[in-house]
Structure 1
Amino acid sequence: MQKQFTPALKLAALAAALFSGTAMAQSSVTLYGQADMFVGGVKNPGSTNRAWVANSGGMQTSYWGIKGTEDLGAGTKAIFDLNGFFRTDQGAMGRFNGDTMFSRNAFVGLQNDKYGTVKLGRNTTPYFVSTILFNPLIDSYVFSPMVFHTYFSAANSKVFDPGIVGDSGWNNSVLYSTPNFGGLTANFIYAFGEQPGATGRNKWGGNVMYFNGPFAATVAFQQVKFDSVPGDLTASSNAFLTGFDKQTAVQGGASYDFKVVKVFAQGQYIKTNVNTNAFGDIKHTNGQIGASVPIGAGNLLASYAYDKTTNSQSSFKRNTFALAYDYNLSKRTDVYAAYYYDKITGIEQGDTFGIGVRHKF
């Protein structure tokens, strides 16, 4: 006699099969991110006026993402991460108008306990990771002196410094990360120009990082031969960059946690080669020192950066410092107050101050 299944039994059997498959595959998908807003005043170097703002991303740029893994067995996992910035002040996607939906990360890859991790897609660069891990204000694009000296342009009437060319994440890239060897790891990235007959148009770089108890250190390097489109800087309207050939950058950093204070130090050299203008190559040298002091349920953060940028015609010096207090209301929510000062030779100084709140989810 053939056994008959009621609709309820069929649904129960289907649910059991689905849950059984999930358990066997050991898959997981996580929605995560953070929202950060601050209110305050912003006065850029060279400006005589201050803007009063309620802006997104004071201590960190707001973002959200979906990431997941699937256990393939033998120590190997499939991984993916789709992660994009957003602006809480406007409810808009991206860091700015025209930014892509998943500009923070958009990759798929394989991870193995013994052989390391390979990620294909848009990847955060190792150089950026070294930049943010060895200064106390991490990746604040509003208050961190090291982020400003590295990823923002600066200029007076005779010298233009483009900062790092190519953004903090690279499209069309392959990123390989080694396993952890007693606290030592290395990361290597290569981004394709994807233009026929222009294989020399590329980006590549990497870093080495070491973490052992209270001590940590890093060295990072990268070379860029185009920005978002191969050769696009050669047609730039900025006369200082006309004839752009390539940019090379190297950075070293270290930190030590004494418990009562954690200290940070960084040094950096960036050379932007330009071949067909009267101003010549742009050479950027800067250093940063900082500290994080636990006070109550939060941390007092301080950072100072000095830079000298030159071309064949002239040079400028830049002095930047920031002071902040970040107070933890819980494991996921903190409030902060911060002040940032920036002075470039020959132009009016700038400064920014604000109070804000950040929530991680």
Structure 2
Amino acid sequence: MQRIALRPLMAALALATLAGSAAAQSTVSMYGLIDMSAGRSQSPGAKAIKNVDSGKMTTSYWGLKGQEDLGDGLFALFVLESFMRNDTGAAGRFDGDTYWARNSYVGLSNNLGTLTVGRNTTSLFVQTLQFNAFGDSFGYSPSIRHYFTSGTTTGDTGWSDSVKYVSPKLGGFTATAMGALGEGNGGRNMSLAGHYAAGDLALGGTWQKVEKGATVADTTTWQLAGSYAFGPVRLYAQYGKVDNKTTGIDYKLTDLGAAWRITPQGSALLQFGQIKPETGAKRSTYSVGYDYYLSKRTDVYAVAMSDRLSGSSSGTSYSVGARHRF
């Protein structure tokens, strides 16, 4: 009888041991996003081009990530992410782009925060995409285009040879510090950022200094951003300044936008952005669109943009496309 009574206890202990072993095991997952569209692209003062393109709303990518429980609340982690151009099957955002250009790092995380080393996405890019209606769209977000493709900020959206620390969330506030070593290729890069989110309100502030790269202009950038939701409508605002020490030209950047959730699946998008350089042509960009989710992983969109540069004829672009996440 005693031996029979011990059997359930032994079985429970065995299950607890197996559960503990499973919790300590590492996990690895594959994921990504494919964005394809057809439409028309036109830069100010240039001819229009009809095209099938990849990544107009979100740059297509795929990745691998993993995590291992080291015990006592400490985790080891890694991320490897590669951009891709699905219209041609080519890797990277452009010819010559490094293969793991999105993120490529290893790190440690516990209740004191997360530390990663390798190639990390910059805080300025993350804040810029969070506080505008078109997210990280290089095709149609005035904010993304003005900071990262219009000759203002330098240093790319990710820094190689970098160390990044992200604090735990404290009362809705998160701090980030990041640096990229020069390694004999000019000076180093540095960045500090803070983000606050509670309920319908979100605020952000980022400062970065780029000196790394013998052929890269030295720039200092700061940006303040905020958003607030009024029921189904979320409003966005950004204001920033870029000081290009190499050329001696300063830029002031202003962005305003709104996303209106018309139905549970569909949202109307509106964003305006302007670059005012100390000298040279002013740039104003207007984008409108509609995004509709067919499921949690798949959405379709229709967007249009007017891009105006002082002294040049306007460029008009539009796209109809779909995104699928896996």
> TM-score surpassing 0.5?
yes
Gaps of 5+ in 1: 1-18, 154-161, 234-243, 275-279
Q: 2:82 aligns with which of 81, 84, 101?
A: 84
What is the CA distance between 1:21 and its match in structure 2? 9.0
1:80 aligns to what SS in structure 2?
Answer: strand
Return the alpha-carbon distance in structure 1 between the equivalents of residues 228 and 25 of structure 2: 38
- 1:85-164 equivalences in 2 (<5 Å): 85-113=83-111, 115-153=112-150, 162-164=151-153
- 1:214-229 equivalences in 2 (<5 Å): 214-226=200-212
- Contact 1:41–1:353 (CA under 8 A) maintained in structure 2: yes
1:98 aligns to what SS in structure 2?
Answer: coil
Aligned to 1:231: 214
Aligned to 1:11: none
Q: 1:320 aligns with which of 282, 285, 288?
A: 285
- Contact 2:27–2:68 (CA under 8 A) maintained in structure 1: yes
- Contact 1:299–1:325 (CA under 8 A) maintained in structure 2: yes
**Equivalenced residues, count:** 309
Return the alpha-carbon distance in structure 2 between the equivalents of residues 34 and 96 of structure 1: 17
- Contact 1:127–1:206 (CA under 8 A) maintained in structure 2: no
- Alpha-carbon RMSD across the aligned residues, in angstroms, is 1.6
- Contact 1:183–1:212 (CA under 8 A) maintained in structure 2: yes
Runs of 4+ in 1 over 4 A off after TM superposition: 19-22
Deviations 1:159-193 (A, max 9, x none): xxx22111000000000011110110011110011
Residue 294 (1) aligns with residue 261 (2): yes
Q: Percent identity?
A: 40
Q: 1:52 aligns with which of 29, 50, 53?
A: 50
Gaps of 5+ in 2: 1-17
What is the CA distance between 1:354 and its match in structure 2? 0.8
Residue 262 (1) aligns with residue 212 (2): no
Residue 283 (1) aligns with residue 250 (2): yes
- Contact 2:209–2:219 (CA under 8 A) maintained in structure 1: yes
What is the CA distance between 1:81 and its match in structure 2? 0.2
Give the aligned residue type for 2:222.
V
Deviations 1:273-305 (A, max 9, x none): 12xxxxx51111011110000112210000011
Q: 1:308 aligns with which of 252, 276, 294?
A: 276
TM-score by length of 1: 0.83
Aligned to 2:160: 171
- 1:332-347 equivalences in 2 (<5 Å): 332-347=297-312
TM-score by length of 2: 0.92
Give the aligned residue type for 2:167.
T
1:61 aligns to what SS in structure 2?
Answer: coil
